[in-house]
Amino acid sequence: MAKAKLGIADENIWTLIRKDQSRFPVCLSVTALGNESGQFKGFLGIGKEITPQQKVEDALQRLNANLEQLVEERTSQLKAAIEAAEVANQSKSQFIANMSYEFRTPLNTILGFSQLLLQDRRITPDQHANLQIIHRSGEHLLSLVNEIITLSKIDAGQLTYEPKDVNLHHLCSGVKDLFSLQALSKDIQLQIQVAPNVPQYVRTDAKKLKQILINLLGNALKFTKRGCVACQVQWYPSSVETSSPALEFTIQDTGNGIPAHLLPKLFDPFVQNPLTREEYGGIGLGLCICQQFVQLMQGDISIESIEGKGTTIKFQIQVQLSDSLPKPKVSQLKVVGLAGYQTSYRILVVEDHFDNRQILVMMLEAVGFEVKEAGNGQEAVEVNQVWQPQLIWMDLQLPVLNGLEATQLIKTQDPDPPVIIAITAQALESDELQALKAGCDDYLRKPYEAAQIFEKMAQHLEITYCYETLHSSVPVIEATPLTRDLLAQMPSSWVKLLYNGAIMLDAETLDLLASEIPEKYQSLKAALEYLVTTYQYDVIMQIAQSALQA
């Protein structure tokens, strides 16, 4: 009442008692009353039972408590899920690294020794052709491994966009050269048409663009038995609607086409047409990887196809005009020695796999370097202290001391440390960062080309090489294309035997059939012998089937 007399409303919760002694809460509000002249007259109390309201408040409090508990539980579950996802990503990254190492190490041996033997002037043309087959098969296996590793990188979120200045016209012509022999052998016309307004130099991720074109053109040629495969390149400058200029590639073929029910699933991994899987092979990752690459370059890709009439694939990517012309590389030349006025360089090769170590040692000794080798990191540290090489090729996966530990010791103990270039079969970009952080001066992944080895060394040491054009040191085998017209010169019964022999991969039968070709059909004989020698049974089968159906 004291508040009320001062003109302040007083409101409190009171517990009232009924006649039956039951109790109930009431919100009592007390205010002062006055007469017309403003004199105090009394008090007005208004009470309101609050039992229903209190029940609602109690229910809300219980609901809030339940919600808080639920939020805590969900937060804990989400935290556990995030931790599990991080562990899964780490496991996936480790899997990528391990698988890359296990595959790339033997592939480095295969590709490395085949490169060395291909440069040997003493080999015969037949041996050269067989070595080319080994090298090509190794590169094909490497491409399959790279596809799986690339997909794993995509899933792990480790794919990055790496733009560089590139000669677009040379890139397109280089891709065409890769498939020209295959198209010639299948009697298919291959075209890559670059519009006149397309700039010669652009800035983009050339490696990924080249892989997209190789995958798409390779598929088009694989599924096309007659007709043509054409790629058109268009240029779209930046405008009000588009902030960046764009390149558009349209690839059309006259192949079998794609069934309508498969079109929505084509960009899913491991999706293939079951009717063509056995005939054409593959693992169904190419289109999935192409889509991821295109999206990484801020573009999109689409497919239109009519079964029996062919397929059109169109993709567009954003690029930038190149500010400067790319510097020419020396990788097109073969290093045959060191310039005569130079002092000898001491090079240490550290590699635990004997075969891989021998490849690098032989490459370096053939040019004129003084070379020593070590099989583990501890041995590398000891050889460096005694011999003091100018450059060390350091494998990262080593026993006793790994490559990173050995590098750190050499860089900290040696007052004038050598150049150290890390080599590894791992596929992760994080490995490169770790190597550079440990003190390595550069980084190279396996499998590597001889030209890459010499380029890296020239970048860090004052080395001048003597070069020889690659193509001048090895014989070139000219391929005569096998066509339906050539096969039409022979009886259909002979062509059918040829088709069956190709299906059965029966080299003896194919050789026997080739020996039956009359002297006047030498072009046919040469074409067939080339395909048999290079194990291109699929080409023989497709062209023979085409001739039988004509």
Q: Where are the alpha helices (DSSP H) in 226-350?
A: 277-280, 286-296
By residue range, what is the domain housing residue 16? Answer: 2-49
Residue pair 176/192 in contact (Cβ under 8 Å)? The answer is yes
Identify whether the C-beta of residue 256 lies closer than 8 Å to the C-beta of residue 307.
yes
Q: How far apart are CA 540 and CA 521, in angstroms?
A: 17
Please indicate, yes or no, whether residues 356 and 446 belong to a single structural domain of this protein. Answer: yes
Q: How far apart are CA 255 and CA 219, in angstroms?
A: 10
What does the longest C-alpha to C-alpha distance in the chain come to?
A: 139
Q: What are the tokens at 105? A: 């190490």
Q: Is residue 143 part of a domain?
A: no
Question: What's the domain count of the chain?
Answer: 4
Q: Where are the beta strands (DSSP E) in 414-525?
A: 419-424, 442-445, 465-469
Instruction: Spell out the long-range contacts of 429-433 with Cβ–Cβ below 8 A and sequence spacing 24 or more.
Output: 429/158, 429/160, 430/93, 431/97, 431/396
- Residue 350 sits in a domain whose CATH number is 3.40.50.2300
Which CATH number covers residue 37? 3.30.450.20
Q: What pLDDT does residue 281 have?
A: 44
Q: Name all contacts of 119-125 with Cβ < 8 Å and 24+ positions apart.
A: 119/334, 119/473, 119/474, 121/473, 125/475, 125/477
Identify whether residues 439 and 505 lie together within a single domain: no
Same domain, 404 and 532: no
- 265 plus 366 within the same structural domain: no
Angle at the Cα of 426 from the Cα atoms of 135 and 157, rounded to 5 degrees = 115
For 339-458, strand residue ranges (E) read 346-350, 370-374, 391-395, 419-424, 442-445
Please indicate, yes or no, if residue 326 is contained in any of the structural domains.
no
Last residue of a domain, one of 321, 347, 379: 321
Q: Does residue 115 fall inside a structural domain?
A: no
Please indicate, yes or no, if residue 90 is contained in any of the structural domains: no
Does residue 376 sit in helix, strand or coil? coil
Question: The domain that contains 283 carries what CATH number?
Answer: 3.30.565.10
Do 309 and 354 sit in the same domain of this protein? no
Residue 375 and residue 307 in one domain? no
Note whether residue 150 is domain-resident. no
Q: Is residue 11 in some structural domain?
A: yes
> What six digits make up the tokens of 228?
């043509």
Closest CA to 539 of 492, 493, 486: 486
pLDDT of residue 417: 92
Based on the fold, state whether residues 173 and 306 are members of the same structural domain.
yes
Residues 300 and 186 in one domain: yes
* pLDDT on residue 148: 64
Q: Give me 497's structure tokens.
A: 């035997």
Among residues 253, 189, 178, the alpha carbon closest in space to that of 220 is found at 253
Supply 250's token pair.
């349209």
Confirm if 296 and 157 have CB atoms less than 8 A apart: no
202 and 275 belong to one structural domain: yes
Domain boundary among 294, 321, 348: 321
Supply the pTM of this predicted model: 0.45
The answer to whether residue 43 is domain-embedded is yes
From 275, 294, 321, the end of a domain falls on: 321
342 and 400, same structural domain? yes
Same domain, 227 and 296: yes
Q: What is the pLDDT along the chain (550 residues), one digit of tens a residue?
A: 777 777 777 888 888 888 998 888 888 888 888 887 777 788 888 888 776 666 677 677 778 878 888 888 888 888 887 777 666 666 655 565 566 566 666 776 777 777 777 777 788 877 877 777 777 667 666 666 666 666 666 665 656 788 888 888 888 887 887 777 778 878 888 899 989 888 888 989 888 898 889 889 988 888 888 889 999 999 988 876 667 899 999 999 998 888 888 888 777 765 555 444 444 444 456 788 888 889 989 899 999 988 888 899 999 999 988 765 544 444 446 777 887 667 779 999 999 888 778 888 888 988 889 999 999 999 999 999 999 999 999 998 898 899 999 999 999 988 899 999 998 876 566 677 888 888 999 988 877 778 888 888 988 988 888 876 444 333 333 445 778 888 888 888 888 888 888 776 666 778 788 888 887 888 788 788 777 766 666 778 878 888 888 7
Compute the residue count for the chain: 550
Is residue 304 located within the same domain as residue 168?
yes
Task: Judge whether 127 lies within some domain.
Answer: no
Q: Counting Cβ atoms within 10 Å, is residue 392 exposed (0-12), middle (13-18) or buried (19+)?
A: buried
